[in-house]
Amino acid sequence: MTAPTPVNSFRTLPDETGHFGQFGGRYVAETLMPLILDLEKEYRKAQQDPAFWAEFDALMKDFVGRPSPLYFAPRMTDYFRAKTPAGKGPKIYFKREELNHTGAHKINNCIGQILLAIRMGKTKIIAETGAGQHGVATATVAARFGLPCKIFMGAKDIERQKPNVFRMKLLGAEVVSCESGSQSLKDSMNDALRHWVANVHDTFYIIGTAAGPHPYPELVRDFQSIIGKETREQMLEKEGRLPDMLVAAVGGGSNAIGLFHPFLDDPEVQMTGIEAAGHGIDTDKHAASLTGGKPGILHGNKTYLLQDEDGQITEAHSISAGLDYPGLGPEHSWLHESGRVNYVPITDTQALEAFQLCCELEGIIPALESAHALAALPQLTAEMDEDKLLVVNVSGRGDKDIFTVAEALGVEL
Q: Which of 91, 95, 106, 302 is catalytic?
A: 106
Rule CB under 8 A: choose which of 35, 111, 380, 392 binds other proteins: 35
186 is an interface residue for other proteins by CB under 8 A: yes
Catalytic residue among 320, 333, 370, 395: 395
Residue 194, interface with other proteins (CB under 8 A)? yes
**Residue 190 in contact with other proteins, rule: CB under 8 A:** yes
Beta-bridge partner residues of 94: 71, 392
Peptide bond into 6 cis (omega under 30): no
Catalytic, 42? Answer: no
Q: In angstroms, rounded to a whole number, what is the distance separating the alpha carbons of residues 133 and 138?
A: 9
Task: Residue 220: name the closest of 261, 190, 258, 246 by CA.
Answer: 258
Closest to other proteins by CB, 36 or 245: 36
Q: Which is nearer to other proteins, 168 or 189 (CB)?
A: 189
Number of chain residues interacting with other proteins (CB under 8 A) = 38
User: Which residues are CB-neighbours of 186 under 8 A, at least 6 positions away?
Assistant: 298, 299, 313, 316, 325, 326
- What is the DSSP-derived secondary structure letter of residue 271? E
Binding status of residue 17 toward other proteins by CB under 8 A: yes
Give whole-number Cα distances, 345 to 219, 310, 353, in Å.
27, 25, 15
Q: Is 106 known to be catalytic?
A: yes
Q: How far is CA 380 from CA 42, 68, 344, in A?
A: 42, 24, 11
Per-position x/- string for 162-181, each x denoting binding to other proteins as judged by CB under 8 A, each - no binding: ------------------xx
> What whole-number distance in Å separates Cα of residue 8 and Cα of residue 22?
18
Identity of the residue, 193 or 319, whose beta carbon is nearer to other proteins in the bound complex: 193
d(CA 278, CA 323) in angstroms, rounded, equals 9
Among 13, 14, 23, 26, binds other proteins (CB under 8 A): 26
**Contacts to other proteins from residues 283-302, by CB under 8 A:** 296-300, 302
Closest approach of other proteins to the CB of residue 285, in Å = 17
Helix axes 106-119, 216-224, angle to 10 degrees: 120
Nearer to other proteins, 75 or 194 (CB): 194
Catalytic residues: 106, 128, 395
Q: Which residues bind other proteins (CB under 8 A)?
A: 17, 25-35, 180-181, 186-187, 189-190, 193-194, 197-201, 296-300, 302, 305, 307, 309-313
